[in-house]
Amino acid sequence: MRNLSHIDTWVFDLDNTLYPASCRLFDQMHVKMGQYVMRHFNLDYPAARALQKELFLRHGTTLRGLMVEHGHSPEGFLEEVHDIDYASVPHHPALLAALERLPGRKIVFTNGTAGHAARVMERLGVSAAFHGVFDIVDSDHIPKPAEQPYMKFLRDHAVEPTRSAFFEDIAHNLKVPHAVGMATVLVVSEDEEEVKDWQGDRDAEYVDHVTHDLAAFLADLKFGD
């Protein structure tokens, strides 16, 4: 298990990682995706959601499936899907304090957009702690867990993998980071059934640490001299 005492670059997924899954932002986004697919394919809502799920499973995101299989441009989809209500995201002073004590850079790496990340971080009150965002546009619309976006992220932000840590809510999204030498942390829901359904194998060899309280986990870290 890789320790975190030597880390100087801290990489965080956004959705259901920096804020808890109980905020249900993804519920809103899934509805928006279903409505988009309904409109563009002239389907009823159940059929649209089924197609959306198929595209997600084949390509990692619904958007990638729409682009690869149906030639859709990403801009309209991303704008529509992220037009949501952020009121459920709580202000989180303890998370800000925990982030600010971490040595080195803090960067968000998300399959969402930079605008979505900015709105979430503003609601949390943690914007000042971060040094950058790597979003789906930066990754050329290729989502995690594909290898290419991770490699591009490392190059674009000059990250040394063995001195970095990656925080994620989906276990298989930690597979590539672990393989290239990053320490990995799975941020799980407190609802054990949700963990089993969509967060993957918390005991996988590529998961170094597991926490259900990101702020407390970060606040408890010890660093060497």
DSSP code per residue over 61-117: SHHHHHHHHH---HHHHHHHHT----TTSPP-HHHHHHHHTSSSEEEEE-SS-HHHH
- The predicted model scores a pTM of 0.92
Q: Is 215:192 a contact under the CB 8 Å cutoff?
A: no
Give yes or no for residue 159 having a pLDDT over 50: yes
Task: Show the domains of the chain with their CATH numbers.
Answer: 9-20+90-219 (3.40.50.1000), 25-81 (1.10.150)
- Amino acid in position 101: R
* Banded pLDDT at 195 (limits 50, 70, 90): very low
Write down the mean pLDDT value for the chain.
Answer: 92
C-alpha span between 89 and 149 (Å, rounded) = 27
Task: Flag the least confident range among 4-18, 29-43, 182-196.
Answer: 182-196
State percent of the chain over pLDDT 70: 94
